[in-house]
Amino acid sequence: MEYNNNLKWKAVPLNGLNDVEGLVGIEECLNYELNFKQTKKSKNKKKLIQSECVSSEKQKQRKCPKKKIKSSSNIHLTPSTTGSTIPNDQSNGIFNDESEDKSMNSWKAYDFPDSILKGLSEQGFSYPTDIQSLTLPSAILGRKDILGAAETGSGKTLAFGLPILNSIIRMKDDVKNVNDEKPLYALILIPTRELAIQVKNHLQKVAKYSGINIAVVVGGLSAEKQERLLNKFPEIVVATPGRLWDLLQLGHEHLSKVNDIRFLVIDETDRMLESGHFKELQNLLEKINADSEARKHRQNFVFSATLTLVHELPKYLMKKKFRGNFEMTSEQKLKKIINLLGITNPKIVDLTHGVGLSQTLTEGRVNCSFQEKDYYVYYFLKKYPGRTIIFCNSIGCVKRLTTLLTLLDCNPLPLHASMAQKQRLKNLERFTENTDSILVATDVAARGLDIPFVEYVLHYQVPRTGENYIHRSGRTARANKQGLTLLLIDSSELQNYIKVCKTLNKNEDIPSFPVEKNCFEAVKQRVNLAREIDKLQLQVKKTNSEAGWFRKVSEEMDIILDDISMKSDLEENSKYKKIASVKAKHLSNLLKNLYS
């Protein structure tokens, strides 16, 4: 290394270092360039250092400060010809290099503030998705109401989230220092708790540097805690209708501003607007729309994966009002939504192509009896390991299948509406952490949840509507990734299967899924053994429960029980336990060999 007197060296104070024997002093230089000699030995080292510390021709004004370094025969220090200004993160806005800045050019047409661009960059969103590209110009530049439908995993959350965040930042800048009032700008209504929390977290990451406070209000969590969150006066509230309505009835100060919100979002609209399904939603909309003048200044966003699908009405409605083969067309469905929300001048964006399924999704079916469904589920899980969701139509089915798969050492995680909210969130977290995890769920998990890298969706029972099939299948093949959805169909479910195909405008059957029959006997043996163990364990639980009930009643009524009868029950229970234990050991040995 050559010492050049033209460089501006500056002494570094050695505060607190009194005992530095032999050290004369330390100097640093902030005004230099690194020049590399072309030697084979230093070629790779040059590329590494140059990429990290040396400005390219496009970045001549950016320099990386260095302290004086050890001498090297290949590096020379020379005076900088471009000045000594070294911008940091704060002095040059958000981006640290031109390549990163350039990668975000797709967003600049929307004039987003730097805080939003930085949030998008950190999350790896370099360019808008299709639904965002078609929605953002009308929402931001034209301030139109939006009715949007797109495949699941297509970026619907940011399609309504970005216009809201952008507008709130600008409105806050306009009224800064005018008063200390903290308004409620936006309300986002979501059908399920899990999806509400997911939407809140997604928006929070993008709004990380904006200073915008976002709160979630859902059932199943402490009302006191959520009131404390509302006491911080969040600009955006993400909520399920039930809990929001409860808090409104209690007269919370911040929620009293709901009439004056500037943005209203309803996500997963087809489910939110099911007749009689969410009475609270109708009450909320009536309250929000009470001020006709404020409604004129509100921007509305309505999004779903199946907004415009044609589908048959539920049977109870058919019997009561619409006898015959009445169907709600896409136009009628849209009109209903527009009238309910008071939407004016909407921009309609429909990317579902009348189907709503991802182009990267592979569909398959297996025709079998109800008794054979367990065989095919276990076969699939062992043959095709990967993150899998198994959907059932009832909570009882979820519980039974979870128990069976646990006995088969598959370690499934249940998810259904009767579980405590804390346990539901815990199971979802565990499911996302393991690449080979299995989730057994009702349709509570089908709506909008963005669980990354789900490879397979199994329909243990055929969904009752085409919309449910789309939402279930939409948990895989998200964001242009490949995925498989597999229907298990027994003879009693053919009508539901036909209804699904009709809703999706399918002119032919879903392709049959190939199954290797050579290992199927081994699969049956293991599943049947697990069923027997499950049956024995249920019998033990039942006997214990009955014995406990008799003891409790006898104590309350001061009756002496027949010792012989009680002893007989205990002996029978002991026998069941021993048989179950033997079968469990046998099953454990069998499980070690399948596909090993």
Q: Is residue 83 part of a domain?
A: no
- Best-predicted range by mean pLDDT (141-155, 181-195, 377-391): 377-391
* For residue 581, pLDDT beyond 50: yes
What pLDDT, on the 0 to 100 scale, is given for residue 92?
Answer: 38
Based on the domain organization, do 321 and 419 belong to the same domain? Answer: no
Banded model confidence at residue 209, pLDDT cuts 50, 70, 90:
very high
Banded model confidence at residue 56, pLDDT cuts 50, 70, 90:
very low
pTM: 0.64
Chosen domain end from 54, 78, 102 = 78
Q: Is residue 596 part of a domain?
A: no
Average pLDDT of the segment spanning 507-511: 91
Instruction: Please tell me which residue, 218 or 325, carries the higher pLDDT value.
Output: 218
Q: Is residue 373 part of a domain?
A: yes
- The string of pLDDT tens digits covering residues 145-168 is 998 887 767 889 999 999 999 999
- The string of pLDDT tens digits covering residues 62-89 is 444 444 434 333 333 333 333 333 333 3
Based on the domain organization, do 201 and 324 belong to the same domain? Answer: yes
Based on the domain organization, do 50 and 152 belong to the same domain? Answer: no
Q: Is residue 2 part of a domain?
A: no
What pLDDT, on the 0 to 100 scale, is given for residue 51?
Answer: 43
Q: How far is 197 from 215, CA to CA, in rounded Å?
A: 9
Write out 501-540 in H/E/C secondary structure. HHHCCCCCCCCECCCCHHHHHHHHHHHHHHHHHHHHHHHH
Share of the chain above pLDDT 90, in %: 38
What pLDDT, on the 0 to 100 scale, is given for residue 410?
Answer: 96
Q: Which residues pair with 303 in a beta bridge?
A: 148, 267
Q: Is 299 helix (H, G, I), strand (E, B) or coil?
A: strand
Based on the domain organization, do 230 and 294 belong to the same domain? Answer: yes
Based on the domain organization, do 179 and 67 belong to the same domain? Answer: no
Based on the domain organization, do 200 and 343 belong to the same domain? Answer: yes
Burial of 515 (0-12, 13-18, 19+ CB in 10 A): middle
Largest CA distance in the chain: 107
By the 8 A CB rule, do 468 and 443 touch?
yes
Based on the domain organization, do 37 and 176 belong to the same domain? Answer: no
What pLDDT, on the 0 to 100 scale, is given for residue 525?
Answer: 94
Q: What is the DSSP string of 114-151?
A: HHHHHHHHHTT--S--HHHHHHHIIIIIS--EEEEE--
Instruction: Please tell me which residue, 202 or 452, carries the higher pLDDT value.
Output: 202
Based on the domain organization, do 138 and 253 belong to the same domain? Answer: yes
Q: What is the DSSP string of 214-264?
A: EEEE-TTS-HHHHHHHHTT--SEEEE-HHHHHHHHHTT-TTGGGGGG-SEE
- The string of pLDDT tens digits covering residues 211-221 is 999 999 998 87
By the 8 A CB rule, do 496 and 462 touch?
yes
Chosen domain end from 515, 542, 575 = 515
What pLDDT, on the 0 to 100 scale, is given for residue 80?
Answer: 36
Based on the domain organization, do 151 and 57 belong to the same domain? Answer: no
Based on the domain organization, do 219 and 365 belong to the same domain? Answer: no
Q: Is residue 267 part of a domain?
A: yes
Q: Is residue 119 part of a domain?
A: no
Chosen domain end from 315, 350, 385 = 350
Q: How far is 358 from 377, CA to CA, in rounded Å?
A: 23
Q: How far is 439 from 388, CA to CA, in rounded Å?
A: 6
* For residue 61, pLDDT beyond 80: no
Banded model confidence at residue 141, pLDDT cuts 50, 70, 90:
confident
* For residue 18, pLDDT beyond 70: no
* For residue 205, pLDDT beyond 60: yes
Based on the domain organization, do 466 and 534 belong to the same domain? Answer: no
**DSSP state, 411?**
-
Based on the domain organization, do 411 and 472 belong to the same domain? Answer: yes
Mean pLDDT of the chain: 78
- The string of pLDDT tens digits covering residues 285-294 is 888 888 888 8
Q: How far is 224 from 457, CA to CA, in rounded Å?
A: 37
Q: What is the CATH number of the domain that holds 186?
A: 3.40.50.300
Q: Is residue 319 part of a domain?
A: yes
Helix or strand holding residue 78 (H, E): strand 75-78
- Best-predicted range by mean pLDDT (46-50, 357-361, 405-409): 405-409
What pLDDT, on the 0 to 100 scale, is given for residue 94?
Answer: 43
Banded model confidence at residue 283, pLDDT cuts 50, 70, 90:
confident
What pLDDT, on the 0 to 100 scale, is given for residue 323?
Answer: 44
Range of the domain at 579: 521-591
- The string of pLDDT tens digits covering residues 225-260 is 888 999 999 999 999 988 898 899 888 889 989 989
Say how many domains are in the chain.
4
Question: Kind of pairing, strands 299-304 and 75-78?
Answer: unpaired
Q: Is residue 528 part of a domain?
A: yes
